[in-house]
């Protein structure tokens, strides 16, 4: 029997990110935050999520540093959830996933979301480019290298 050729496991940032946002409800809660939804009741309504599940996911996202919980009313205490810097930095990857889905998993009806850039007024979509030269990245043109950390 021939020996199997296994590629060595490569724990990296994608694996660490999947631990934080890889679960369905976490990324959908983040989507709502990107759309400007801050309040628990709105999230329950928009997502159709069980309250206990939402409470757990919000707690996870706060603990992960992606959302900040802020009280906006007392007696009783009511909270809203605000994107942190780390949470806002997740916007690019999330809209890149949205673009991928629009291209490869188009909706059956005309429910595709459109993004409009406020500065120029034009419709836009995510595009991943090289930070050094600005060329669009293609996985066939990118090599993975070790950072050489000790």
Decide if pLDDT at 2 tops 60.
no
**Does residue 81 lie within any of the structural domains?**
yes
Which secondary-structure segment (H or E) carries 79?
strand 78-83
Identify the domain containing residue 91 by its residue range: 13-141
**Does residue 148 lie within any of the structural domains?**
no
Number of independent structural domains in the chain: 1
**Does residue 7 lie within any of the structural domains?**
no
pLDDT digits (tens, 9 = 90+) for 16-39: 899 999 999 999 999 999 999 999
pLDDT digits (tens, 9 = 90+) for 102-140: 889 887 777 777 899 999 999 999 999 999 999 999 999
What CATH number does residue 83 fall under?
Answer: 1.10.10.10
**Does residue 149 lie within any of the structural domains?**
no
**Does residue 124 lie within any of the structural domains?**
yes
Measured distance CA(93)–CA(130) in Å, rounded? 14
Q: How much is the average pLDDT of 66-80? A: 95
């Amino acid at each position: 029997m021939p020996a199997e050729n296994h590629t060595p496991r490569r724990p990296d940032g994608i694996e660490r990110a999947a631990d934080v946002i890889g679960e369905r409800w976490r990324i959908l809660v983040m989507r709502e935050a990107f759309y400007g939804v801050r309040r628990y009741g709105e999230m329950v309504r928009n997502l159709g999520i069980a309250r206990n599940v939402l409470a757990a996911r919000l707690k996870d996202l706060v603990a992960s540093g992606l959302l900040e919980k802020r009280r906006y009313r007392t007696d009783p205490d009511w909270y809203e959830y605000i994107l942190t810097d780390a949470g806002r930095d997740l916007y690019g990857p999330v809209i890149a996933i949205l673009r991928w889905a629009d291209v490869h998993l188009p909706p059956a009806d005309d429910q595709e979301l459109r993004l409009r850039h406020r500065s120029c007024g034009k419709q836009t979509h995510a595009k991943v480019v090289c930070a050094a030269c600005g060329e669009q990245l293609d996985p066939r043109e990118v090599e993975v290298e070790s950072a050489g950390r000790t």
